[in-house]
């Protein structure tokens, strides 16, 4: 390399100051032009639009929003949802104006499944919207009954809209969005958890003018939904069964005996009573 002596004074002077990079600084791929920096001009950014909000107790506020302010549970501090995410056709206020909640056992009997589907077909054919949690068994039968007559249904999911449960009902959920809604109080990416299945029951109860329970076991989570309907002063009806001693109907028998539900023997009278209550 030769003698560095002649270059030593130059190297010593250059080493005293940090070298300046000629390229753009890291993190700024598109630096502002020099004339913009000198003049103080800044790149204009589009202003974010804030969503229009209406207080739930406003006289012109949606009826459904006023329904969702009726919650009060000092024991668990479970109140109305902060927000609702929805996917589907039509506003929730219109769909749930004539809503009937249908809940029941996941492991239902063949009779319970058929009775639920017949009830949903009759109700949806008369302009009622079926409100359920979208679970297996009774919930699925109610939704299928509404879809069979081109009726509307609202399914309240226990997780975000991207994780509607159960996943095997995905095709049914897609059909619902064409004439009804999928609704959740959780952000779309949230997954369902055990406690959220109970929390969503209060929304199902609130959106309906009344609640119908075709079948429910003695330890069924349906009893939690019935409890919420009683708190919100929604009438609860249990459908009759040819086998009153069957385990699948034990929860309904207990509700009727305790005065938490009435036995509905005629679908027409049931819907007429709901129309008066709603």
Mean pLDDT for all residues in the chain: 80
Band (pLDDT 50/70/90 cuts) for residue 252 is very high
Q: Which domains does the chain have, with CATH numbers?
A: 84-277 (3.40.50.450)
Work out the average pLDDT over 218-222. 90
Q: Which of 269, 261, 237 is CA-nearest to residue 116?
A: 237
* pLDDT at residue 42, as a whole number: 52
Q: What is the pTM of this model?
A: 0.74
Query: E strands along the chain, which residues?
Result: 85-88, 99-102, 129-132, 152-156, 181-184, 211-213, 236-238, 262-263
- Position 117 scores a pLDDT of 96
Segment 96-108, tens digit of pLDDT:
889 999 999 999 9
Please give the pLDDT value at position 36: 47
pLDDT of res. 190: 92
pLDDT reported for residue 158: 93
Asked if pLDDT for residue 68 goes beyond 70, the answer is no
pLDDT score, position 63:
60
Question: pLDDT value at position 25?
Answer: 54
pLDDT reading at 125 higher than 70? yes
pLDDT single digits (tens) 226-248: 999 999 899 999 999 888 888 99
pLDDT at 10: 42
What are 67-71's contacts with CB under 8 Å, separation 24+? 67/96, 67/206, 67/207, 68/203, 68/206, 70/206, 70/232, 71/202, 71/206, 71/232
| pLDDT-derived band at 30, boundaries 50, 70, 90 | low
| Cα 17 to Cα 64: distance, rounded to the nearest angstrom | 70
CB 256 within 8 A of CB 223: no
85 forms bridges with which residues in the sheet?
184
Q: State percent of the chain over pLDDT 90.
A: 50
| Per-residue CA distances from 201 to 14, 40, 86, 101, 197 (Å) | 74, 56, 17, 10, 7
Counting residues of the chain whose pLDDT is more than 70, the rounded percentage is 71
- What pLDDT score does 265 carry? 85
Q: Which pLDDT value is given to residue 96?
A: 84
């Amino acid at each position: 390399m030769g003698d560095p002596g002649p270059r030593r004074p130059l190297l010593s002077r250059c080493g005293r100051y940090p070298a300046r990079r000629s390229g753009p600084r890291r993190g700024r791929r598109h630096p502002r032009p020099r004339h913009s920096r000198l003049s103080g001009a800044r790149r204009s950014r589009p202003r974010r639009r804030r969503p229009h909000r209406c207080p739930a107790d406003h006289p012109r506020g949606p009826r459904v929003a006023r329904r969702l302010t009726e919650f009060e549970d000092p024991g668990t501090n479970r109140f109305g949802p902060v927000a609702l995410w929805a996917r589907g056709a039509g506003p929730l206020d219109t769909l749930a104006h004539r809503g009937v909640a249908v809940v029941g056992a996941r492991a239902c009997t063949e009779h319970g499944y058929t009775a639920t589907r017949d009830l949903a077909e009759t109700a949806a054919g008369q302009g009622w919207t079926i409100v359920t949690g979208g679970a297996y068994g009774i919930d699925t039968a109610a939704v299928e009954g509404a879809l069979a007559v081109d009726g509307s249904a609202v399914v309240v999911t226990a997780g975000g809209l991207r994780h509607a449960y159960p996943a095997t009902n995905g095709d049914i959920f897609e059909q619902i969005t064409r004439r009804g809604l999928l609704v959740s109080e959780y952000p779309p990416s949230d997954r369902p958890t055990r406690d959220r299945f109970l929390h969503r029951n209060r929304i199902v109860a609130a959106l309906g003018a009344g609640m119908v329970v075709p079948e429910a076991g003695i330890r069924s989570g349906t009893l939690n939904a019935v409890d919420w309907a009683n708190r919100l002063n929604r009438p609860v009806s249990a459908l009759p069964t040819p086998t009153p001693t069957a385990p699948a109907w034990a929860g309904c028998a207990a509700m009727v005996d305790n005065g938490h539900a009435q036995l509905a023997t005629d679908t027409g009278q049931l819907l007429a009573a709901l129309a008066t209550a709603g």
